[in-house]
Amino acid sequence: MAQVRPMRADARRNYARLLEVAVEAFAAHGEGASLDDIAKRAGVGSGTLYRHFPTRRALLEAAYADRIDHIAARAGELAEHLPPGEALGQWLNELGAGMTQLRGLRALLGAAVSGGGPTNDATDCCDPLKDAVTRLVGAAREAKTLRRDIEPIDVLRLAHGVATASELAGGEGQHLRRYLGWLMEGLRP
pLDDT in tens, 100-152: 888 788 888 888 888 644 444 444 788 999 999 999 999 999 999 999 999 99
Report the alpha-carbon distance of residue 91 to residue 113 in Å, rounded.
Answer: 17
Secondary element (H or E) of residue 84: helix 84-101
pLDDT given at position 34: 95
Per residue in 149-176, pLDDT (tens digit) is 999 999 999 999 888 888 777 755 667 8
Question: CB-based contacts of 154: which residues, under 8 Å, 6+ apart?
Answer: none
Per residue in 10-27, pLDDT (tens digit) is 888 999 999 999 999 988
pLDDT given at position 115: 62
Task: Tell me the CA end-to-end span of the chain in Å, nearest whole number.
Answer: 53
The domains of the chain are located at: 9-54, 64-187
Architecture of domain 64-187: Orthogonal Bundle (1.10)
Per residue in 34-81, pLDDT (tens digit) is 999 999 999 999 999 999 999 999 999 999 999 999 999 999 999 999
Report the alpha-carbon distance of residue 115 to residue 173 in Å, rounded.
Answer: 26
Handedness of CA 117, 79, 125, 169 (dihedral sign): positive
Is the CATH code 1.10.10.60 the one for domain 9-54?
A: yes
pLDDT given at position 177: 80
Q: Average pLDDT in the 88-100 region?
A: 91
